[in-house]
Amino acid sequence: MISKKIRKDHNGYIFITPFFIILSIFVIYPILYSIAISFTKWDGSIIPPEFNGINNYKKLVNDAFFRRSIRNTWIMWLGCIIPQMIFGLGLAVFLSERKLKGKSFFRWVYYLPNLVTMASVGALVFFLMNWPAGSVNRMLMTFGIIDEPYNFLENVFAARATISITLWWMWFGYSMIIFMAGIKAIPEEYFEAARVDGASKWQVFWNITLPCLKPIILYQVVTSVIGGLTMFDVPYVLTQARGNPQATTLTMVMYLYNTTFANYNFGYGATIGVGLFVIVMIFVAIAFRLINKNSAHD
Amino acid sequence: MKRMHLMRTITLLLCAILIMLSFTACSKPVESPAPAETPQEEPQEATEKTPEDFTGTLTFWHFNNDEGPKLAEAFMAKYPNVVVETQITADTDLAYQNKITSAIRAGSGMPDVFAAENAFVKRFVNLPGGYANISAAPYHAETLVGRNIPYTVDIGKDNSGNIKALSWQACPGGVGYKRDLALEYLGTDNPDEIAAMLSTPEKILETARNLKQASNGKVKLFVGTEDLYKIYVGSRTQPWVKDNKLMIDPKMMEFVDIAKTLREEGLEGGIRQWTPAWSAAVADDEHVAYAIPTWAIQWVVAVNAGDEAEAGRWGIATPIPYYEGGTWAGVSEQSQNKELAWEFVKFLATDADHLRDWAKATGDFVNHLDIVDELMNDSDFVNKTVDQNTYQVYGPMVDKIDGGLITQYDDQMRVAFLNIMQTYLAGNINKEEFLQEFKDQIQADITDLIIE
């Protein structure tokens, strides 16, 4: 019989104290500090922050650059996540075929871009797409596709597409690995039963693989939303910090960084940070709701 | 129940402590010492001391690995009992500026002396807690800078007119050109004739078109439009910001127009400055000219031109007076060794013997009028890279430089102007949209500025 009495000594608190100390110093304190300075005007110097009421928040609501940065971030994220999911899933299904030879090699090759740091990839793509002497321009001219070098990074669509494709290239291998793990976890009996019933490969995919992978897809989308909303490195390096052309590749974190560290507007930078925090929290809450709904449904 | 109460108490206590801590941190700067007009430890008058009498260790921050260590070495050679520990942080992505700003804010960790370049020196001379006021006692910098070129002294002053940092350089600019290409396609490599060909926007365009025609489109006049930006921005008559208002000098719109024409007619290389392609083009046979202020002979031409630099392939013409660049150094407000720090700054900027040696060793254009006169009249002082006496070339322009053109916003202006101009040059926006976009960007970057 299990005793109903719970031990009430407080030794447990000692063991969890280090975690709370670290959490307080590195997470809670910076958050509270950022919130506090978001109500101030401060250039980051030794002159104390000047209380500014809710002026920074009023400005944030009407800030065209902030709105632009939200829109840009979503457009570039969608341009990345949709092909990332399609390719990741497609390749995972394809490479999970039992009879296929050389699977490990392809898994390794597709995952490789994810191991390179984002800043390095950004710099590499900058040199590839550079005008007028970038490798892509030279290649297109050699093959006679274009007569004059084209300034890809100054065209809104091409610049955003370059960033989305770069991020897709970096992340589809990662998605593929996660999907493959998900496929492996689907009981083999399901597939066997389908084969016995004479189901085609497409029917197996549509009626077994995809429904069973739904939680994994959702997990990928949720983690990608968080990563996507904090997009920074690739557009920063590729557009040399400015989000060219006309701030159409400026992301929310780039705007925060530029405001704080390039323009020394620490107070308003913190306000942007709080705005970003709220946006991320809203979408994470929606995503978790979807996940929980999905788990309950299962 | 009791346990829940305890937990709630702990949580509330923790929150209260954190909130208090956050506000304490916000108000921490209040407790920091205000930027003192007089330093905490007043240095002794050093006039009677010899260099050997100075002992100790100085910390020195600089952003350039080519210059910083050499300055320290020169000081240590004359002051044998002093050690200068130099720390270099490149200003890539503003790393150097942010490092200084953070250390000032933290109230600790600042070096004794730190350098700042033209692009951001005005911010640091006006930043409380940064540079010590060397106009005040016991430094009295004004009494020592009488022979320094006045514009270099003006730039080192804060908005109240106090000297905070001193420079050892003057940076008038010229147009560097490859003599062989100029001779082949323009018919001359004479600096005066080249200067005449580039003296007005119309003549620049005419020369660029002649060059294109003569070389069948193979050779372009300027490596990129950003080189022209240096010339135009340095030859404005009003600063970017005056009375807290954005001022767009007519010269800047003149620059936009000429850059657009050069781009549309394929008369410039389209290469952005400080990129590897820009450096590599110094040694090629496809681009004739770069904007070359004094320091760039060494740090742009000589380092990138390889062996040809020694052969005098390059020449310098001075068609339009302008200036670009320069480095300043000052005593840190936080220095615990201000006497020695001041001795170092004083040595760098006012020691005539050192400045003469420095000019001869590095080819730099120093800002000491006596040395400028001396080297202008020294027939043996010929820079091998350009085969000219650079003091004779740049010297006459020194009087035309206006230090009042510099503001603390210049770097932000440059970045915004040139980036948005790339979109205009690519043909994706028109001139009005470019101007509006520039104003919008500046308003977002510098929120307090009045923009009409």
Determine, for residues A132 and B27 on separate chains, whether the beta-carbon distance falls below 8 Å.
no
CATH architecture of B172-324+384-445: 3-Layer(aba) Sandwich (3.40)
Determine, for residues A244 and B419 on separate chains, whether the beta-carbon distance falls below 8 Å.
yes
CATH number listed for the domain at residues A65-297: 1.10.3720.10
Determine, for residues A154 and B420 on separate chains, whether the beta-carbon distance falls below 8 Å.
no
pLDDT of residue A222: 83
pLDDT of residue B4: 45
Determine, for residues A24 and B104 on separate chains, whether the beta-carbon distance falls below 8 Å.
no
Instruction: State the nearest Cα–Cα gap between B194 and chain A, in angstroms.
Output: 27
Range with the lowest mean pLDDT among A111-120, B115-124, B298-307?
B298-307
Instruction: State the nearest Cα–Cα gap between B352 and chain A, in angstroms.
Output: 36
Determine, for residues B101 and A65 on separate chains, whether the beta-carbon distance falls below 8 Å.
no
Residues B189 and B180 sit within 8 Å (Cβ to Cβ): yes
Q: From the list A64, A132, A247, which residue is nearest B270 (CB)? A: A132
Q: From the list A47, A240, A247, which residue is nearest B128 (CB)? A: A47
Collect all residues of chain B within an 8 Å Cβ-Cβ radius of residue A16: none
Q: From the list A45, A155, A258, which residue is nearest B105 (CB)? A: A45
A35, A46, A256: best mutation site toward chain B, by most B Cβ within 10 Å? A46
Distance in angstroms (rounded) separating the CA atoms of residues A128 and A149: 12
Q: Where are the CATH 3.40.190.10 domain residues in chain B?
A: 51-170+327-376, 172-324+384-445
pLDDT of residue A3: 58
Collect all residues of chain B within an 8 Å Cβ-Cβ radius of residue A247: 441
Cβ-Cβ contacts under 8 Å for A187 (sequence gap 6 or more)? none
ipTM over 0.85? The verdict is no
Higher pLDDT, B435 or B14: B435
* Identity of the amino acid at B323: Y
Instruction: State the nearest Cα–Cα gap between B372 and chain A, in angstroms.
Output: 37
A65 close contact with B: CB closer than 8 A: yes
Instruction: State the nearest Cα–Cα gap between B98 and chain A, in angstroms.
Output: 7
Of all residues in chain A, the one with the smallest CA distance to B124 is A45
Collect all residues of chain B within an 8 Å Cβ-Cβ radius of residue A8: 3
Distance in angstroms (rounded) separating the CA atoms of residues B82 and B57: 6
pLDDT of residue B256: 97
Determine, for residues B428 and A245 on separate chains, whether the beta-carbon distance falls below 8 Å.
yes
What are the pLDDT digits (tens) for A87-121?
999 999 999 887 788 888 988 999 999 999 999 99
Higher pLDDT, B47 or A49: A49
State percent of chain B over pLDDT 90.
76
What are the pLDDT digits (tens) for A199-243?
998 999 999 999 999 889 888 988 888 889 999 999 999 998 889
A29 close contact with B: CB closer than 8 A: yes
What are the pLDDT digits (tens) for A6-43?
667 788 888 899 999 999 999 999 999 999 999 999 99
Mean predicted confidence (pLDDT) in B354-361: 95
- CB burial string A146-165: b at 16+ within 10 A, e below: eeebbbbbbbbeebbebbbe
Q: From the list A40, A59, A242, which residue is nearest B419 (CB)? A: A242
Mean predicted confidence (pLDDT) in B18-44: 42
Up-side HSE of residue B441: CA atoms within 13 Å toward CB? 27
A156 close contact with B: CB closer than 8 A: yes
Distance in angstroms (rounded) separating the CA atoms of residues B156 and A231: 39
User: Which residue in A158, A7, A171 sits closest to A91, CA to CA?
Assistant: A171
Collect all residues of chain A within an 8 Å Cβ-Cβ radius of residue B93: 241
The interface residues of chain A toward chain B in range 89-148, judged by CB-CB distance below 8 A, are: 130-133
How many CB pairs below 8 Å do chains A and B form together?
107
Both tokens of B352, joined, read 């005539």
A63 close contact with B: CB closer than 8 A: yes
B101 close contact with A: CB closer than 8 A: yes
Q: From the list B423, B444, B445, which residue is nearest A245 (CB)? A: B423
Pairing of strands A40-41, A50-51: antiparallel
Determine, for residues A46 and B29 on separate chains, whether the beta-carbon distance falls below 8 Å.
yes
Determine, for residues A46 and B428 on separate chains, whether the beta-carbon distance falls below 8 Å.
no
For helices B201-214 and B250-264, angle between their N-to-C axes, nearest 10 degrees? 10
User: Which residue in B131, B152, B135 sits closest to B144, CA to CA?
Assistant: B135
The interface residues of chain B toward chain A in range 429-448, judged by CB-CB distance below 8 A, are: 429, 437, 440-441, 444-447
Band of residue B269 on the pLDDT scale cut at 50, 70, 90: very high
Band of residue B15 on the pLDDT scale cut at 50, 70, 90: very low
B316 close contact with A: CB closer than 8 A: no
Main-chain dihedrals φ then ψ at residue B43, nearest 5 degrees? -70, 155
Q: From the list B19, B277, B420, which residue is nearest A133 (CB)? A: B277
What are the pLDDT digits (tens) for B394-431?
999 998 888 888 898 998 999 999 999 999 999 999 99
Band of residue A64 on the pLDDT scale cut at 50, 70, 90: very high
- Which three-class secondary structure string do you get for chain A? CCCCCCCCCCHHHHHHHHHHHHHHHHHHHHHHHHHHHCCEECCCCCCCCEECCCHHHHHHHCCHHHHHHHHHHHHHHHHHHHHHHHHHHHHHHHHCCCCCCCHHHHHHHHHHHHHCCHHHHHHHHHHHHCCCCCHHHHHHHHCCCCCCCCCHHHCHHHHHHHHHHHHHHHHHHHHHHHHHHHHHHCCHHHHHHHHHCCCCHHHHHHHHHHHHHHHHHHHHHHHHHHHHHCCCHHHHHHCCCCCCCCCCCCCHHHHHHHHHHHCCCHHHHHHHHHHHHHHHHHHHHHHHHHHHHHHHHC
User: Which residue in B84, B128, B125 sits closest to B340, CA to CA?
Assistant: B84
Residues B122 and B408 sit within 8 Å (Cβ to Cβ): yes
The interface residues of chain B toward chain A in range 268-287, judged by CB-CB distance below 8 A, are: 269-271, 275, 277
How many distinct helices (H) and strands (E) make up chain B? 19, 11
What are the pLDDT digits (tens) for B225-255?
999 998 899 889 999 999 999 999 999 999 9
Class of domain B51-170+327-376: alpha beta
Determine, for residues B29 and A47 on separate chains, whether the beta-carbon distance falls below 8 Å.
yes
Band of residue B369 on the pLDDT scale cut at 50, 70, 90: very high
Residues B170 and B358 sit within 8 Å (Cβ to Cβ): no
Determine, for residues A65 and B270 on separate chains, whether the beta-carbon distance falls below 8 Å.
no
Helix (H/G/I), strand (E/B), else coil: B313: coil
Instruction: State the nearest Cα–Cα gap between A49 and chain B, in angstroms.
Output: 7
Collect all residues of chain A within an 8 Å Cβ-Cβ radius of residue B101: 44-45, 264
Collect all residues of chain B within an 8 Å Cβ-Cβ radius of residue A268: 447
Distance in angstroms (rounded) separating the CA atoms of residues B332 and A178: 54
Range with the lowest mean pLDDT among B10-24, B366-380, B406-420?
B10-24
Instruction: State the nearest Cα–Cα gap between A106 and chain B, in angstroms.
Output: 35
Distance in angstroms (rounded) separating the CA atoms of residues A8 and B3: 8
Determine, for residues A29 and B22 on separate chains, whether the beta-carbon distance falls below 8 Å.
yes
A38 close contact with B: CB closer than 8 A: no
State percent of chain A over pLDDT 70.
96
Instruction: State the nearest Cα–Cα gap between A66 and chain B, in angstroms.
Output: 10
A220 close contact with B: CB closer than 8 A: no
pTM across the whole model: 0.85
Determine, for residues A36 and B412 on separate chains, whether the beta-carbon distance falls below 8 Å.
no
Determine, for residues A154 and B27 on separate chains, whether the beta-carbon distance falls below 8 Å.
no
